[in-house]
C-alpha cells in the first residue's frame, strides 16, 4: 500500500473542507442550512470588472504563459496602489510578486525559508494554512497565543528567547482572521523591532486591509521604518473586490524574500492567467469606488449579528475590521459543542474556534458573507434556539 510522507501524517483535515462536508450532509437531511462559517462574499464581482476580463481574455496574446513573476504592468499597479494607499514606495521589478491568490504565496513562503526541524512562530488562533504550511515544509510550528485579555495581540516578551532565536518566520495577520482584532502602527513597530533584533522574517497577511469600519484605517507593515529589511506582506484582490474565486494576489516587501518566494513559484507554477492580471490592474486602479459599498454592506450585517448575539446572551466584541465575529461560547459549552448546538437547533453553521488552534477553544467564528435575507433568518433561528436553551 502507498505510504504518505511522514510530514503529511502530521497535517489535520482542512477546516473549511470539513465544514463543506458537514453542510452537504445536513442539506441531504432536508431543510435550509444557514452557513455563517466561511468567509466567501456572496456579492458579485463588479460587472464592469467582469466585462474587462472578458475582453482581455479574447486577446490571443494573453493565451500564452505569463512571465513567471507576473506581468510587469500588474506589479507596477500593485506598487502604485501601495504608494497611494500607504505611502509606501516599492520597486515593481524586485519588491512585488504576482500570486495565484495570497493563500498560495503564504503556503509557499515556508518552502523558501523553513527546512527540516526549523521553527516558525504561528499565531494561535490563526488561519489554518500558516500551521499546515510549516508542517508541509517539514518544520516545527510554535504557537504564539492571541488572548482576549491582550486584545488578541501576541505578547512577544513571553516567547522564550531560545525559541525566538531559532525561528525563521513570524506570521501576523491584522485585521485578524479569525478574531477580527485590529492593530495600530505602534504595535507593528514593536513587531518589526522584535524581528530585526532576532533576524526573523516577518510575514504579514494583510488580506483584510480594506474591510474596515467606524473610521478605522488598517496600516501596512511596510509603513514601519526599516520594515523592508525583514518583512514581506501578502495582499489579495479577493476580499475588497469580491474576487475570491478569481485567485489573484501579490506579495510585496523585502526583495530577498520576494526573490526566494519567486524561485519556489518558478518551479511549481507559471503565474496567473495574463488576462486575469490585466483585470487586476483595472481593479487596483478603479476599485476605490466599489469599496465603500462593500464595507457598508458588511457593517450593516455586522451590526445586526452583534445585536442578535448579544440579545441571545452571548459575549461578542464589535469588530472594526474583517467580516467575521469571534464569539465567546456560553458556559458549559466547548467550541465544538456550541457549533453543533447551533447547527442542530438553529440550522446555523459556524466555525468552531478549535479549527484555528488550541487557543481558539471557547469561541466560534461567524461570517457576514451571506445575503441579507438569509442572515435575518439565521438571526431569528439563533434567537429562538438560545431562548429555548434558556441562554438569554
pLDDT of residue 19: 62
Residue 257 is assigned to a structural domain of this protein: yes
pLDDT in tens, 115-171: 998 999 999 999 999 999 999 999 999 999 999 999 999 999 999 999 999 999 999
For residue 128, which phi and psi values (nearest 5 degrees)? -55, -25
Q: Indicate the length of the chain as a whole number.
A: 392
**329 and 378 housed in the same domain:** yes
Q: In the chain, which residues have pLDDT < 50?
A: none
Strand residues in 36-139 grouped as ranges (E): 96-99, 119-124
Is 1 inside a domain boundary?
Answer: no
Radius of gyration of the chain (CA): 21
- Overall number of domains in the chain: 2
What digits encode the pLDDT tens for the residues 211-267?
Answer: 999 999 999 999 999 999 999 999 999 999 999 999 999 999 999 999 999 999 999
Q: For position 4, what pLDDT does the model report?
A: 85
Residues 24 and 116 in one domain: no
pLDDT (0 to 100) of residue 2:
82
Angle subtended at Cα 232 by Cα 298 and Cα 74, rounded to the nearest 5 degrees: 70
What gap in Å lies between CA 311 and CA 300, rounded to an integer?
17
Beta strands in the chain, from DSSP E residues, in sequence order:
34-35, 96-99, 119-124, 140-145, 167-173, 201-205, 231-236, 249-253, 315-316, 324-328, 348-349, 351-352, 363-367
Q: Is residue 25 part of a domain?
A: yes
Q: Which structural domain range is residue 14 located in?
A: 6-45+289-388
Domain with residue 169: its CATH number is 3.40.640.10
**pTM for this predicted structure:** 0.95
Instruction: Outline where 199-334 has alpha helix (H).
Output: 255-266, 274-286, 288-311
User: Is 321 among the domain residues?
Assistant: yes
Run of H or E residues at 374: helix 372-388
Cα gap 16→4, rounded to integer Å = 22
Is the domain of 58 the same as that of 135? yes
Give me the CATH number covering residue 374. 3.90.1150.10
Rounded (10°) angle between helices 128-136 and 102-113: 40
User: Do 293 and 344 belong to one domain?
Assistant: yes
Residue 366 shares a structural domain with residue 223? no
Which pLDDT does position 82 carry in this prediction?
Answer: 98
Task: Please state, in angstroms and rounded to a whole number, the distance separating the CA atoms of residues 11 and 382.
Answer: 33
3-state secondary structure (DSSP) of residue 286: helix
Are 246 and 75 contacting, i.e. CB atoms less than 8 angstroms apart? no
Amino acid at each position: 500500500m502507498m505510504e504518505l510522507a511522514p510530514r503529511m501524517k502530521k497535517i489535520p483535515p482542512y477546516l473549511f473542507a470539513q465544514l463543506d462536508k458537514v453542510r452537504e450532509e445536513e442539506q441531504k437531511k432536508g431543510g435550509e442550512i444557514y452557513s455563517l462559517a466561511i468567509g466567501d462574499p456572496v456579492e458579485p464581482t463588479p460587472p464592469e470588472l467582469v466585462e474587462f476580463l472578458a475582453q482581455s481574455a479574447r486577446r490571443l496574446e494573453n493565451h500564452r504563459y505569463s512571465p513567471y513573476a507576473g506581468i510587469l504592468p500588474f506589479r507596477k499597479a500593485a506598487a502604485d496602489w501601495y504608494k497611494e494607499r500607504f505611502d509606501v514606495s516599492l520597486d515593481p521589478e524586485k519588491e512585488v510578486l504576482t500570486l495565484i491568490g495570497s493563500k498560495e504565496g503564504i503556503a509557499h513562503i515556508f518552502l523558501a525559508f523553513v527546512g527540516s526541524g526549523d521553527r516558525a512562530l504561528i499565531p494561535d488562533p490563526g488561519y489554518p494554512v500558516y500551521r499546515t504550511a510549516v508542517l508541509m515544509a517539514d518544520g516545527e510550528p510554535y504557537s504564539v497565543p492571541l488572548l482576549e485579555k491582550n486584545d488578541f495581540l501576541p505578547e512577544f516578551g513571553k516567547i522564550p528567547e531560545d525559541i525566538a532565536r531559532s525561528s525563521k518566520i513570524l506570521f501576523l495577520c491584522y485585521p485578524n482572521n479569525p478574531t477580527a482584532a485590529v492593530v495600530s502602527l505602534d504595535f507593528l513597530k514593536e513587531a518589526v523591532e522584535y524581528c530585526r533584533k532576532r533576524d526573523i522574517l516577518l510575514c504579514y497577511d494583510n488580506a483584510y486591509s480594506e474591510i474596515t469600519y467606524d473610521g478605522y484605517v488598517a496600516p501596512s507593515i511596510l509603513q514601519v521604518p526599516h520594515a523592508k529589511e525583514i518583512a514581506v506582506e501578502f495582499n489579495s484582490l479577493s476580499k475588497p473586490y469580491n474576487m475570491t474565486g478569481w485567485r489573484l494576489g501579490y506579495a510585496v516587501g523585502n526583495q530577498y524574500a520576494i526573490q526566494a518566494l519567486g524561485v519556489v513559484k518558478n518551479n511549481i507554477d507559471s503565474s496567473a492567467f495574463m488576462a486575469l492580471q490585466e483585470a487586476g490592474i483595472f481593479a487596483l486602479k478603479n476599485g476605490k469606488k466599489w469599496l465603500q459599498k462593500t464595507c457598508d454592506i458588511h457593517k450593516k450585517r455586522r451590526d445586526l449579528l452583534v445585536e442578535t448575539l448579544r440579545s441571545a446572551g452571548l459575549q461578542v466584541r464589535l469588530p472594526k475590521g474583517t467580516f467575521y465575529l469571534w464569539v465567546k461560547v456560553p458556559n458549559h459549552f466547548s467550541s465544538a459543542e456550541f457549533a453543533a448546538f447551533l447547527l442542530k437547533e438553529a440550522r446555523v453553521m459556524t466555525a468552531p474556534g478549535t479549527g484555528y488552534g488550541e487557543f481558539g477553544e471557547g469561541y466560534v467564528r461567524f461570517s457576514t458573507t451571506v445575503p441579507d435575507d438569509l442572515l435575518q433568518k439565521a438571526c431569528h433561528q439563533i434567537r429562538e434556539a438560545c431562548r429555548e436553551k434558556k441562554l438569554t
